Chains A and B, each alone.
Chain A
């Protein structure tokens, strides 16, 4: 990975940072391709690929037929033939037709072929809710991918990470599921264009002494808001942004929990069998003697994603996270597990 080092930083939206990451990768490496539905002239339904076809030509950035299995399946063939495809699944739930290609081939070919075929493919998936989308446009599908050995799964929480993680994902020799928190596409932040944190490492977004809130993607901003609100309650909240869901950074997360003695995992996806269960289990296995309370989760309910006018009742928010922090046995009270 050759990080493009510039001393400049600039304020960009997450969508613009992702666009810049693809543009820089296309400019530096002639084997990089960007394709998918509506990514060409339109620039993607979220404009994340805006201007790329015009700048790099329709042989490198192009629209495909509307068929997700076809997009991923042909990307596999292209990667076998030496190219580095970056493909877009238009929305989270629209990636499901490609599930077989992802789980049976993309994730496994390196292993099946004893390392002879490596597939440097990036699948960009705008995911999650909070944008008033109708059904099939708001799923949090991360657990399907993190449960599949062979896949790397990352999700940025800030525009700076969006740029850096996407550059690293494109440079990776392995397939990467790149989950883009669509409700944060328009949030701005400083982008430095420099890589300081490896792709497989979590970062502490806000240091704190009392409790570790573990979040990723769209919930990083919510966790930081919660941390600010929590100061009024007298809690000093540490926020860990996982960045990489697979592999999971036990070291950074557990070091934080050992310091604070309390942990809450937050994600939009349903809780049952969800990613937070894995985090809670791993933290408990490794930090049991440092914990003052069970690791708790704040997640979406165990329901199909609700319609837009009800989604506010489904998605984790500051109040729910604060309520959950309050249940972490601060005064030796009996713990109540939400939803139990």
Chain B
């Protein structure tokens, strides 16, 4: 029996850790176990190193583009580790850290942004849908997927990631409505990082919060501190276990520009960025774990070394040149190539001969 859940979010974001890493005494959320907290920390450190490595590879021309999620690691890691093995993740282009946290190979994660193909991994291996470039369309895929699981009698939840800008798209609203009507086991995690490329919240939304949008669809909603990985983990885990739809707005910040092709100084101040750097999600969990004696200097060094090793693997994979077969253009348009495509393939083969 699912307990009655509040449709409206709290006025203040739920949290477990203050920005200095001290615990919130009266939080309604359950503090994750120590081993979970240590794992959250480890994966955030590795994820951040992956992110900075990908940004560096862009500058070296190895990636066509990279949308960084630096500053959003608590959302990316906390939400993914709260999933069970059988659950599915429906990410966007900004969620590469979520993908590697889920176990997707880092080079396969970056195939889309490297430009070799639109997707490098098999979605069925780690239960991760294709990274979605159009905004909000993945919300409906998540709802359909989760509803199908229920029709088949399977206990599978879907976690769909969107940004603040995507909450203005119609598909987000259709998906929340379908999920509400079908009571589909879908967690909508809105990473509100303050900007849709350059457009701030004030020009995106007139509701008291993005989480408030759930009430119109009968979907229980949660507002959470998106830089508090313990809190993000706790609310996503609770939402997955609840078995129905939940809308979660996580308040966070995109430290880097939209992508390497963007100039963030045109629309935001360095003071604003500095204020958010002061609320860094990795520092916060480190401060808490260190104060509790769980994060020893040895473990910290080991995690840092693991992150470096991970980054070296990413560099090695991305610095390798791959052949791209032009004839592969005609593959997988249909299950069986049509006569028409076979003719066109023959024309290209002639050109290449």
Contacts and interface: CB of A to CB of B under 8 A. Distances in A.
B130 A76 contact: no
Interface in A236-264: 247-248, 250-251
Given A73-B137, A116-B124, A110 B147 contact: no
B184 to A, nearest CB: 9
Contacts of A150: 333-334
Interface in B107-121: 117-119
Contact of A78 (B119, B130, B148): B148
A65 B181 contact: yes
Contact of A174 (B137, B139, B178, B334): B334
Contact of B140 (A70, A110, A173): A70
Interface in A298-332: none
Interface string A3-32: 000000000000000000000000000000
A70 B174 contact: yes
Interface string B135-147: 0010111111111
A69 B332 contact: no
A247 B338 contact: yes
B197 to A, nearest CB: 19
Contacts of A76: 140-141, 144
A59 B122 CA distance: 29
Central interface residue in A113, A117, A248, by most chain B CB within 10 Å: A113
B324 interface: no
30 contacts: A33-B151, A65-B178, A67-B177, A69-B171, A70-B140, A70-B178, A73-B174, A74-B144, A77-B140, A77-B143, A77-B144, A77-B147, A78-B144, A78-B148, A79-B144, A80-B145, A81-B144, A81-B148, A83-B148, A100-B137, A105-B137, A110-B333, A110-B335, A111-B332, A112-B118, A113-B118, A115-B332, A117-B130, A174-B335, A247-B338
B29 interface: no
A118 interface: yes
B149 interface: yes
A101 interface: yes
Nearest to B329: A111
Interface string A60-92: 000011010110111111111111000000000
Contacts of A336: none
A90 to B, nearest CB: 16
Interface in A103-121: 104-105, 108-118
B148 A114 contact: no
Contact of A250 (B151, B158, B175, B339): B339
Contacts of B149: 81
A200 interface: yes
B152 interface: yes
A67 B332 contact: no
A247 B338 CA distance: 7
B171 A73 contact: yes
B226 interface: no
B134 interface: yes
Contacts of A100: 134, 137, 171
State which size class the interface on B falls in: 35 or more
B339 A247 contact: yes
Contacts of A59: 151
A113 B123 contact: yes
B122 A73 contact: no
Nearest to A152: B334
Contacts of B137: 73, 100-101, 104-105
Interface in B318-342: 331-335, 338-340
Contacts of B123: 80, 113, 116-117
A81 to B, nearest CB: 4
Interface in A128-166: 149-150, 152
B300 to A, nearest CB: 39
Contact of B145 (A77, A113, A116): A77
Nearest to A110: B332
A134 to B, nearest CB: 24
B129 interface: yes
B23 interface: no
Contacts of B148: 77-78, 80-83
Contact of A77 (B124, B142, B152, B177): B142
B335 A69 contact: no
Contacts of A75: 144
A70 B146 CA distance: 14
Contacts of B130: 109, 112-113, 117
